[in-house]
Amino acid sequence: MIELVSSWRCFDGEQRVYKHDSKATGTPMEFAVFLPRRALNGEECPTLMYLSGLTCTWENMVSKGGSQRTAAELGMIIVSPDTSPRGEDVADDEAWDMGKSAGFYLNATQEPWAKHYRMEEYITQELPEILEEHFPVDLSALGVTGHSMGGHGALTLAMKNPGLFKSVSAFAPIVNPMNCPWGEKAFSGYLGSDRSTWASYDACELVKARGWKGRILIDQGTADSVLEVQLKPWAFEKACREEGVDLTLRMQGGYDHLYYFVATFLPDHIAWHYDELV
């Protein structure tokens, strides 16, 4: 059962937020969904899932992303889940780059994380079932995108679940977490010290192992302060080139890592996904 938390009229559609008790995480979870007029009228619509980054919730996307106008014009549903389980009994880290708001879209295997940090299962199994049951979502036309840690999630979950996600794009994604400080810290904690278990959550390794039959779109700002140390898009570009995967990597001059960057190019991504899905 899902419960409506809030709803706002927006571009002749509705921006809503729901909460529910998650079987995957064992915690209450919230997600936002924008329903264009077509969806409110009961028509099935192509759907785009947006995964947020470190320190974020669904609210960053909903209030700063500016997705609603384009989604309303095209008749697309936009779903924005949270980034991690939450609650007083949920394990956390003192720093901002692990724990709550930093679930890395994986299924943790190590304590104290394994009990609740099952975001991969939540995003790829539980949430799609909820969407199909309660909204006019066409799961045969489901795409995924995301920002930073969410871009990592979009790329890895799409490549691992090509039967679920038919299109994928990303904004400033963490493409090689096995070899950057954010990923090494999170993977060590969530997955343990055996690096061989990390590869299934690394976009560079996954594209080598699984490939991708469609196109991939990535936007990356050249003024991003974490570009060189954390993001390394050229590593994914090289892997895609070697595997024959159709990647468009757009280096956007002067843009940083913040939502001004995301909001600038998100309409492009929504339209791109629409073309891929319909």
Which residues are known to be catalytic? 148, 224, 257
What does the pLDDT read at residue 44?
97
What does the pLDDT read at residue 23?
98
At 123, the amino acid letter reads I
Q: Using one digit for the tens of pLDDT, what is the confidence trace for 231-265?
A: 999 999 999 999 999 999 999 999 999 999 999 99
Measured between alpha carbons, how far is 269 from 80 in angstroms, rounded to an integer?
15
What does the pLDDT read at residue 272?
98
What does the pLDDT read at residue 231?
98
At 126, the amino acid letter reads E
**Domains of the chain (ranges, CATH numbers):** 3-276 (3.40.50.1820)
- The β-bridge relationship of strands 28-35 and 215-221 is unpaired
Q: Using one digit for the tens of pLDDT, what is the confidence trace for 24-82?
A: 999 999 999 999 999 999 999 999 999 999 999 999 999 999 999 999 999 999 999 99
Q: Which two tokens stand for residue 58?
A: 């669904």
Q: Is 92 left (phi over 0), alpha (psi -120 to 50) or beta?
A: beta
Reported as type and span, the H/E element at residue 14 is strand 13-21
Whole-number average pLDDT of the chain: 98
Q: Using one digit for the tens of pLDDT, what is the confidence trace for 190-228?
A: 999 999 999 999 999 999 999 999 999 999 999 999 999
What does the pLDDT read at residue 47?
98
Q: Using one digit for the tens of pLDDT, what is the confidence trace for 153-187?
A: 999 999 999 999 999 999 999 999 999 999 999 99
Measured between alpha carbons, how far is 158 from 6 in angstroms, rounded to an integer?
29
What does the pLDDT read at residue 95?
96
